[in-house]
Structure 1
Amino acid sequence: MTTVLSIMLGVLVVVAITALTGYFVAQEFGYMAVDRSRLKARATAGDAGAERALAITRRTSFMLSGAQLGITVTGLLVGYVAEPMIGNGIGVLLGGVGVPSAVGVAIGTVLALLFATVVQMVFGELFPKNLAIAEPEPVARALALSTAIYLKLFGWLIWLFDQASVLLLKALRIEPVHDVEHAATPRDLEAIIDESRDSGDLPEELSTLLDRVLDFTDRTARAAMIPRPHVASVSADETVGHLVEIMASGHSRLPVLGNGADDVVGVICLRDVLALEGRDLDAIRVAAVMRKAVLVPASLPLPAVLHQLREADDEFACVVDEYGGLAGVVTMEDIAEELVGEITDEHDPEGEDEATIGDGDWTVPGTLHIDEVERLLDHDMPEGDYQTISGLVIAELQRLPEPGDAVIVTLPRPSGADDDEPDPRLSVTVLTVDRRVPETVRLAWADASDQDSPSAAEVRA
């Protein structure tokens, strides 16, 4: 009876120590997986548990050291308890049925260690780990008070082990990190968005919007502007009467030019013209009605362009290139289109900037930005000194294109692709030309036969 009680007591002690191991494992994974922003919101709302948990996440490295110390000590204790209390007890019981003592003790030791290992793995490691990953916030909040007490009581010991590891890292010329970075870089966010879209957790439209938001801060006025060849303008010496005829085509704002095509002296707005109702418009010069132009450099990031427009309480800016010439104009609508895609109003020709999806190919306007091409194909494009798919074609042909010209573009290999996989290749064919540059192009995945086409120039990324 005493032997049976000893075995049962050993089992209870192993289970109790395993519960402690599970406690430290839950600490380790719970505080690593918890969303700090959610904890901060709860703490601001007055949740004491969230506030304590948030304080612990600010000492992630120290907390991990404490959890590892607890896991190591409890793991050693299980082995120390299981063999004498359970193994020897089983050996005694086996000896009572005629099993030799040495054999009985060996069998008992193996069974005790096997039992302790299974219990430790399932209930001390895997279960608390999966629980903490599945419900990190409730686990972190529930363990916050006890974790804080544990770190305070054994902080000196944890500090000693921490300092020993720091000295070892410095001896290897590695700078130790005292907290685990939870912030995500833009590249991390892009990867998260791609994975969420591919898994179906994020709708296609929302993932595209988030992609554009991440790209927005890196885009410049040059990327969003209406280029100069497509900009209507008016001379400062023109009469307002003639200006009305120009504005009848759908323009509500126009840059006003002085001496030459690059001399921007102001901007004329439709509402300023409408304010002249009742007066002789043919007797008034545009220079007398125009307002000061908002001028921005072509390299200015879009958030800064938006800030300047807001400060000027305007919706229209003239973009100036590095030589001081007029590169184009940018409006609030153009900036909004960088976030939400093409916005068509009653003045835009129907379907002018829309991509047409065919059977394995895409017909797109030449002005389509490279970023939008990447989203359309769900694949990276080669980097180069161009903004649009039209610019890519011209850069690779090294001349102005003609209808029917084509290039074969070898695209960057996706990360994680096997070495034996063929490089992805894209065929870009010029369909129509306007102002000597591609107006529409057709995109299609290239096969092996395309490389032999005499009209296709092969381009490598």
Structure 2
Amino acid sequence: MMSTVLSIGLGILVVFLITVATGYFVAQEFGYMAVDRSRLRARASAGDAGAKRALGITNRTSFMLSGAQLGITVTALLVGYVAEPLIGEGIGELLGGVGVPAGVGAAIGITLALLFSTVVQMVFGELFPKNLAIARPEPVARALALSTGIYLKIFGPVIWLFDQAAILLLKLARIEPVEDVQHAATPRDLESIIAESKQSGDLPAELSTLLDRTLDFHESTAGHAMIPRPEVTTVEEGDPVSRVVELMASDHSRFPVLGDGVDDIVGVICLRDVLALGDRDLEHVKVSEVARPTVMVPASLPLPGVLDQLREANEEFACVVDEYGGLAGVITTEDLAEELVGEIADEHTPEEEVPAHLDGEGSYLVPGALHIDEVERLIEHDLPEGDYETLGGLVIHELHRLPEVGDTLELALPRPTSAHDDDPDMALTLRVSSVQRHVPHTVEVRLHESGAEEKAEEVRA
């Protein structure tokens, strides 16, 4: 009897010891997959030996995973090999001692042994080390680095053999194997990460918006960020400089200079050029005498390229030219800055050029010239894609005509990829509040659940 109890106790102890080994390999597997390599690099650069060793292991992810899988498989088999003879047979003998038939006792013993070993393996060998490694990947990776390196070195030939067999199968399936897991993120990946971090509250809304704009900056073009031609004040080369001084009272300090036509850009004149004239009679000084060459950029040029050209020319102003050679607009360093930080409003900025909250959640009075991406950030929802740059362009696109004050339309918004099945579909109601130069100047925008407007009308009726 005593020997049987000791056999069961020994079996339980051995199962726990083997389970610890299983947990080691599971922690190895998840720890090195979840660890932040940039943090390891920073620690390694600071002289942390554990981080340096862990970083070396992450550079052989596929080999490490093969080693971890080998360890998990072998230890799982050992648990079954030990549990049945030491625990199962022992329980069967104890049950036989109290009158249970030998066959029944053996069956019960094996069942209890397998149940016990399975629970221990799942909880202590799989789930606990997995959750620990995911919750604390960096400490786990650093702590296991030395022993993992030794293990991979000792059992390297065996691991390599199994690894090569798997690689051969992949190649037969015409799949190219990789040694390391790709940790680099595309701009689209970063956008998703930023959106998820903002939604979870891990990233402040202001910072997430700044990061989002920064990612968009490299894809945006001069045509996107420019002040469009209808809003640009120009002067002709034959005008007196006194005309420029009059225009400067309207808050502008730089003006494109035109020659024989509206698309003949001959230069630019700015405030410092006028000030350099000193006491000269500005009525008798022609703009052509003062104008200097201007930076010219195509409308399709990405904003980083615009910034490079302005920096090389030591200028803050450029004329944007369309594909037909005409003046499409102008762009300044302030416009480039606004692509990163949003509208920079000062005492000269009209109130109607800045989005304003209206009564009711999700309701705004928005400038028609506001870019679509800024509208999306304002309502925190994607808008339908189309051949337009601004909110006013969206209204015209949907109306199929030039708008009038009071025109109202409702847009069904695309469903976010992260939306749950029970999340309602959203819609956007747009009402033209004012019109200027035949296009929407200000638009009332209201975000609501799809169909909510009709229900509200029915209630009011």
* TM-score, scaled relative to structure 1: 0.92
Cα distance change, pair 137–448 in 1 and its aligned pair in 2 (3 A): closer
Match of 2:210 in 1: 209
Match of 1:384 in 2: 386
Report deviation, 1:320.
0.6
Q: Deviations over 1:409-437 (max 9, x none)?
A: 22222226578987533222212110111
Q: Which runs of 5+ in 1 are unaligned?
A: 453-461
SS in 2 for 1:196: helix
Kept in 1: contact 2:222–2:331 (CA 8 A): yes
Cα distance change, pair 208–449 in 1 and its aligned pair in 2 (3 A): closer
Mapping 1:168-183, distance limit 5 Å: 168-183=169-184
Report deviation, 1:303.
1.3
Mapping 1:141-160, distance limit 5 Å: 141-160=142-161
Which moves more between the two structures, 260-269 or 179-188? 179-188
Report deviation, 1:167.
2.5
Mapping 1:28-107, distance limit 5 Å: 28-107=29-108
Partners in 2 of 1:101 and 1:450 — Cα distance? 76
SS in 2 for 1:267: strand
Match of 1:365 in 2: 367
Match of 2:27 in 1: 26
The percent identity for this pair of structures is: 71
Partners in 2 of 1:425 and 1:256 — Cα distance? 45
Kept in 2: contact 1:267–1:293 (CA 8 A): yes
Report deviation, 1:330.
0.8
Partners in 1 of 2:406 and 2:297 — Cα distance? 38
Partners in 2 of 1:441 and 1:346 — Cα distance? 22
Give the counterpart letter for 2:202 in structure 1.
Answer: D
Where does structure 1 differ by over 6 angstroms across 4 or more consecutive aligned residues? 418-422, 449-452
SS in 1 for 2:388: coil
Kept in 1: contact 2:51–2:142 (CA 8 A): yes
Q: Which runs of 5+ in 2 are unaligned?
A: 456-461
SS in 2 for 1:83: helix
Mapping 1:264-413, distance limit 5 Å: 264-360=265-361, 361-413=363-415
Q: Deviations over 1:301-348 (max 9, x none)?
A: 111111111111111111111111111111111111111111012332
Kept in 2: contact 1:427–1:446 (CA 8 A): no
Report deviation, 1:451.
8.0
Kept in 1: contact 2:133–2:140 (CA 8 A): yes
Partners in 2 of 1:327 and 1:7 — Cα distance? 86
**What is the alpha-carbon root mean square deviation over aligned residues?**
2.1
Match of 2:458 in 1: none
Kept in 1: contact 2:29–2:65 (CA 8 A): yes
Which moves more between the two structures, 153-162 or 172-181? 172-181
Give the counterpart letter for 2:124 in structure 1.
Answer: F
SS in 1 for 2:146: helix
Q: Say if 2:134 is the partner of 1:133.
A: yes
Cα distance change, pair 436–217 in 1 and its aligned pair in 2 (3 A): same
Match of 1:458 in 2: none
Kept in 2: contact 1:430–1:442 (CA 8 A): yes
Q: Deviations over 1:151-186 (max 9, x none)?
A: 122222222222222222333333333322222222
Give the counterpart letter for 1:93 in structure 2.
Answer: L
Report deviation, 1:125.
0.7
SS in 2 for 1:174: coil
Cα distance change, pair 449–11 in 1 and its aligned pair in 2 (3 A): closer
SS in 1 for 2:87: helix
SS in 2 for 1:178: coil
Report deviation, 1:351.
4.4
Partners in 2 of 1:355 and 1:220 — Cα distance? 27
Give the counterpart letter for 1:22 in structure 2.
Answer: G
Kept in 2: contact 1:408–1:446 (CA 8 A): no
Partners in 2 of 1:25 and 1:57 — Cα distance? 15
Match of 1:10 in 2: 11
Q: Deviations over 1:178-214 (max 9, x none)?
A: 3222222222222222222222222222222222122
Match of 1:440 in 2: 442
Kept in 2: contact 1:353–1:365 (CA 8 A): yes
Give the counterpart letter for 1:207 in structure 2.
Answer: S
Kept in 2: contact 1:355–1:365 (CA 8 A): no
Which moves more between the two structures, 92-101 or 224-233? 92-101
Partners in 1 of 2:263 and 2:359 — Cα distance? 41
Match of 1:242 in 2: 243
Match of 1:231 in 2: 232
Give the counterpart letter for 1:28 in structure 2.
Answer: E
Partners in 2 of 1:158 and 1:449 — Cα distance? 61
* TM-score, scaled relative to structure 2: 0.92
Give the counterpart letter for 1:303 in structure 2.
Answer: P
